[in-house]
Structure 1
Amino acid sequence: MSYDTQLPHAPAPVAMRNGLGTAALILGIIGTLSGLVPLFFWLAGILGLIALILGLVGTGRVKRGEANNKGVTVTGAVLGLAALILSVVGAVITFTAVSDAVEEIDKTLKDSAPATPGAKGKGQTTGKDAAAKALAADETAAYDDGLEITVSAPKTFTPGEFAVGHTEGNKAYKVTVTIENKGKKAFDTAGTLPTARAGKDGADAEMVLGDKGLDVAFEGSVLPGKKATKTFAFDAPADAKLLTVEIAPAMGLDHDAAQWDLKIG
């Protein structure tokens, strides 16, 4: 009698599942390198989060004996955490830089924008709304950079024989214009000269020139805390009741023009 002896089969080896650890390492490396460039903080954050999750899951497999790449998995999780930290730092740097750039652009635009006059004197309040209406005699156009311009009430005078710009039968009027610099920078007055209109039709009032004490235009600079005063004359019809004087500081390149309605006649 013969007996067949059957030996028990050895259990099949368990296949190691090392994919998560490897993926965590690769993503952690890419995420960390991305985090070194602040502008790529968003990419570092995404890859770092994924790498950290995969690394933690992969570590669990190692503990259960389903994977044997503990070093790779732990390294991937650590790099994922590092990428997240770099992502936060990069975001702070990027947003701070953008904020500073926006502030600098706003400052540049404000500095380059023409200054807008308000009104001071005789109950007027300083503000941009005042720029939309004419000022009265002895009122001041106050600009937001500290420049102030005042036009006096007109005074009649008789032009001399050598004066030009006066028409027989018309009346001539003198006005005094004062520029005061209350700002922090010198103001170049080059090109600053008044123009005027008179009469019902608002016809141009010609400037009277060549008489003693009359000026043609401002020249030179007005330093902070200083003033410059000039006297100008205009020719108006005899029946005119209003002389409108307009002044555009420095030809209006940096400042809006202001107007004064001066009663005459």
Structure 2
Amino acid sequence: MTAEQQHNPFRPPDDSVAAAPSQPPSGYGAPPPSSPTPPHVQPPAGPPPGQAPGYGAQPGYGHPQSAYGAPPVPGAQPGYGAPPGYGHPQPMPGWGGAPGWPQGPVGPRNGLGTAGLVLGIIAAVLSCTFVLSPVALILGILALVFGLVGAGRARRGQATNRVAALGGLWTGAGATLVAAVLTVVLFVWASQPIEVESEAGSAYLAEALDEVAYADGVTVVIGSPQVSPDGAAVTVTAQLANDSDTDADLLEGGLTGYADGEELPGDAVELEGMELGTVPPGDGGTVVYTVAVPAGTEELGIDFSPGSGYEDSYWVFTLSGGPAEEDPTGPSEEDPGGELPGDEPPSADV
């Protein structure tokens, strides 16, 4: 083949022509070959007939490049090699191994140990009081927990206040123990009803117009029950007075009736009227009950409480006949007594 003949791009070159190894360039931006194209290798003048321009055998798609950065081979066409700089990224030091974030210094974690010591001291002080013992119990438990966590951090080297954490642990444990005992005593004491202070109504059964006094200063006086004409019901009127220095809650009192020693059902007692509630000192009111009794009942027994937080007082009344009429301390014909027709009861300011 002479130099004037056109090279066929679809035919491999002759054996006489030394085939240069096809090697793609080193990467993007590689400089063009420094040596010109040899005269015996001519680029194709154009596409063959019947083929669209630009859709021929593209040069450069030969064997892949053996190594990045190898010098270009004269006569090799540019190809597509691996772009430079796309290797495995190196992790940068950071928080938790995350790249790009600088690692900051971590100080000792002394917060819980110090908080446990402060709460333990406060709990120890409050545990000496009776009323505030429930608050001391809560603070003592918190101090105990914080002290345990703080001591654990100090043991692992995460905190430096081991002494403070142990102080909160032991003060919290001691305050918790003392406050728990006082809290139980406080709740037991608060749940106890107010006791009857007078002998009437507690040591012996109170009778009509006896004054029953409670420990907080509340007094109760009950007159003789009024029997209905048919004898099937009895009206019981109780006068209450607050002779203490504080308010008395007399809203939810109660009465239980006994006919000749037999307890009456709950529906046999009905509250007719009560003008009470929180009674201030020096004030009082009246409570009226209607008690249904069997016909011929001679003795009516009553357990009466002026409020939900008060102990029952015990009363007995003679309705008709019976030994109570012969009692020298009972009412006589000259002094009927035993009734509350609006008169002032003895020792009751109502």
Q: TM-score range by the shorter chain?
A: 0.3 to 0.5
Structure scoring higher RCO (CA < 8 A, sep ≥ 6) equals 1
TM-score normalised to structure 2 length: 0.37
When you count strand as a share of all residues, which structure comes out higher?
A: 1
TM-score, with structure 1 as normaliser? 0.46
Which is higher, the Rg of structure 1 or of structure 2? 2
> More helix by proportion, 1 or 2?
1
